């Protein structure tokens, strides 16, 4: 049994250097690595490139790392919910690469799966296609997109075991499984860390081979962006 | 009188066929779910990774780990399934989702759609829109016929940055239902109650095709 447990978030992220390329799981604020983000705020690492579907909100998620100017570049599909983000973008402090969501997901998956590039129809005929190779297959046009990899992938799961096997809950799965595959070092934070054998192998979403470090997270806030309930 | 947003959603709900998988965009498209008749069984897809979106939760059921693509808290239906965003877009690109309903800023007479960027304004990103329009078998656009300034949004050629080429099959606006023909042109199928063909002509900048009597929508 390979034991991948580290004691906490600070321990897990302490060797992330300036200018590292990170992937951070989550869709909106759902399924984001809250503990790792808090720990990065403490280490003060700078010049980060963050690959993440969104950029958090002003006072939560990646938004906190924008406020402390730790992020040099965001690679995302939608970044609308953050005033500080907008300010830094307009002032030229922050670089942003916007990518169609499915292309982003697949580029990350490809990075983990050893597929250097693939053809997708998404973005053909748009500014996303500028400078990219295009090709026709069966009468339809596609463009060539390349894999994405990261120095460190920070993912959040519901349950995990000390060997790094992960189970996600609800739509908090989102980008986490592909990012776990595409990180040179993948750090998983989990709400419940258990011993090997306690998770049903049939139910594992991310096999432990993709995870290098795992720790029991704490104090999850799980903030909700749009709290919608049934009309009474 | 032109339709309100609810009216547009109600009319689009009539297009929904039994036994289909559907992706609804943010805004008017989301409202469509409320007007699908009980005898029509469909499964709603949320591109963050859920098939089988249920209604909004009761206060006691709210789960931060269960949201739709608009980041709203939702529930799952019986028989729903959960998956990664990669798999979600595999089912979209793979043509497994039967119908996509989404909003637009402009649609051209050959089916081009623009809905993600206004030059000079803050760019928020395209989210999943480019993947959806590049792949869906059937795309219905829900939008106002004209902009707030009274400019037509049905054009011969789009002026705003493109989201996808030649993909829109049908447009439902506050004034009319129109098919986008494969050879180009908006074919007028129905007009909103009390809206005349002349008014629709005046509000449509792209090529408009009118054949015979145009019936009123039945909402």
| pLDDT tens sequence across B88-132 | 999 999 999 999 999 999 999 999 999 999 988 878 899 999 999
Q: To the nearest 5 percent, what fractions of chain A are helix, strand and coil? A: 25, 30, 45
Does A171 sit within 8 Å of B66, measured CB to CB? yes
| pLDDT tens sequence across A201-213 | 999 999 999 999 9
Residues of A in contact with B96 (CB under 8 A): none
Q: What is the bridge-based pairing of β-strands A134-137 and A150-161?
A: unpaired
Give the pLDDT score at A16.
98
Give the pLDDT score at A72.
97
Residue A55 inside a domain? The answer is yes
Residues of A in contact with B47 (CB under 8 A): 101-102
Nearest 10 degrees: CA dihedral of B57, B60, B66, B68?
Answer: 30
Q: Please confirm, yes or no, whether B213 is among the known catalytic residues.
A: no
Q: What secondary structure letter does DSSP report for B35? A: G
Give the pLDDT score at B121.
82
Whether the pLDDT of residue A86 is over 90: the answer is no
Give the pLDDT score at A82.
84
Q: Which two tokens stand for residue A132?
A: 């990219």
Domains contained in chain A, number: 1
CA-nearest residue to B115 within chain A is A126
Query: How many percent of chain A have pLDDT more than 70?
Result: 100
Its pTM stands at 0.96
Q: What is the bridge-based pairing of β-strands B138-142 and B154-155?
A: unpaired
The ipTM, to two decimals, is 0.96
Whether the pLDDT of residue B74 is over 80: the answer is yes
Residue A133 inside a domain? The answer is no
B125 interfacial to chain A (CB closer than 8 Å):
yes
Residue A67 inside a domain? The answer is yes
Residue of A171, A174, A203, A217 to mutate, interface with B, max B Cβ within 10 Å: A171
State the average pLDDT over residues A152-157.
Answer: 98
A138 interfacial to chain B (CB closer than 8 Å):
no
| pLDDT tens sequence across B124-141 | 899 999 999 999 889 999
Residue of A31, A101, A109 to mutate, interface with B, max B Cβ within 10 Å: A101
- By the 8 A CB rule, do A68 and A56 touch? no
Residue A152 inside a domain? The answer is yes
- By the 8 A CB rule, do B106 and B158 touch? yes
Task: Give all domains of chain B, ordered by start, each with its CATH number.
Answer: 5-209 (3.40.1080.10)
- In this complex, the residue of A27, A120, A223 whose CB is nearest that of residue B85 is A27
CB atoms within 10 A of CB A2: 11
Domain that holds residue A77: 9-121+147-216
| pLDDT tens sequence across A12-65 | 999 999 999 999 999 999 999 999 999 999 999 999 999 999 999 999 999 999
- By the 8 A CB rule, do A45 and A20 touch? yes
As a whole number of angstroms, the distance between CA A171 and CA B74 comes to 10
Give the pLDDT score at A232.
58
In this structure, what CATH number is given to the domain that contains residue A201? Answer: 3.40.1080.10
A176 interfacial to chain B (CB closer than 8 Å):
yes
Q: To the nearest 5 percent, what fractions of chain B are helix, strand and coil? A: 20, 30, 55
Q: Where are the beta strands (DSSP E) in A21-149?
A: 21-24, 48-51, 71-76, 95-98, 117-120, 134-137, 140-146
Rounded to 5 degrees, what angle do the CA atoms B135, B141, B147 make? 135
Q: Scan residues 83-102 of B and list those with Cβ closer than 8 Å to A.
A: 83-86, 88-90, 92-93
Give the pLDDT score at A171.
98
Q: pLDDT category, B177, cuts 50, 70, 90?
A: very high
CA-nearest residue to B70 within chain A is A226
Residue A169 inside a domain? The answer is yes
Residues of A in contact with B63 (CB under 8 A): 170
């Amino acid at each position: 049994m390979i034991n991948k447990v580290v004691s906490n978030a600070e321990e897990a992220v302490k060797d992330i250097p300036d200018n590292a390329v990170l992937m951070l799981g989550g869709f909106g604020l759902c399924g984001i690595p809250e503990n790792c983000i808090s720990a990065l705020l403490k280490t003060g690492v700078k010049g980060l490139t963050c690959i993440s579907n969104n950029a958090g909100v002003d006072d939560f998620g990646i938004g906190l790392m924008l406020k402390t100017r730790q992020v040099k570049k965001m690679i995302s599909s939608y970044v609308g919910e953050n005033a500080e983000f907008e300010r830094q973008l307009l002032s030229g402090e922050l670089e942003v690469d916007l990518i169609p969501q499915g292309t982003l997901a697949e580029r990350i998956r490809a990075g983990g799966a050893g597929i250097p590039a693939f053809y997708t129809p998404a973005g053909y005929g748009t500014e996303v296609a500028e400078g990219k190779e295009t090709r026709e297959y069966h009468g339809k046009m596609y463009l060539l997109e390349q894999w994405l990899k990261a120095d460190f992938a920070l993912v959040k799961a519901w349950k995990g075991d000390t060997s790094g096997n992960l189970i996600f809950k609800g739509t908090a799965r989102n980008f986490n499984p592909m990012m776990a595959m595409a990180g040179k070092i993948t750090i998983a934070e989990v709400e419940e860390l258990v011993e090997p054998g306690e998770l049903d192998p049939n139910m594992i979403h991310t096999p432990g081979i993709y995870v290098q470090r795992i720790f029991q997270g704490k104090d999850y806030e799980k903030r909700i962006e749009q709290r919608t309930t049934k009309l009474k | 009188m032109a339709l309100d947003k609810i009216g547009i959603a109600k009319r689009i709900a009539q297009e929904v066929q039994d036994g289909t998988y559907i992706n609804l965009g943010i805004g008017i498209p989301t409202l469509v779910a409320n007007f699908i008749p009980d005898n029509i069984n469909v499964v709603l897809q949320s591109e963050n990774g859920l098939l089988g979106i249920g209604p909004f939760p009761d206060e006691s059921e709210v789960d931060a780990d269960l949201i739709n693509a608009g980041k709203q808290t939702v529930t799952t239906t019986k028989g729903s399934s959960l998956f990664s965003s990669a798999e979600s877009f595999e089912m979209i690109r793979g043509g497994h989702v039967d119908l996509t309903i989404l909003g637009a800023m402009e649609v051209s007479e050959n089916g081009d759609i623009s809905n993600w960027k206004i030059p000079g304004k803050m760019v928020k990103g395209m989210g999943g829109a480019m993947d959806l329009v590049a792949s869906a078998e059937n795309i219905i656009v829900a939008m106002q016929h004209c902009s707030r300034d009274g400019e037509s949004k049905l054009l011969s050629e789009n002026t705003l940055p493109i989201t996808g080429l030649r993909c829109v099959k049908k447009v439902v606006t506050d004034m009319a239902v129109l098919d986008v023909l494969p050879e180009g042109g908006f074919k007028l199928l129905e007009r909103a109650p009390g809206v005349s063909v002349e008014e629709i002509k005046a509000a449509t900048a792209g090529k408009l095709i009118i054949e015979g009597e145009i019936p009123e929508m039945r909402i």
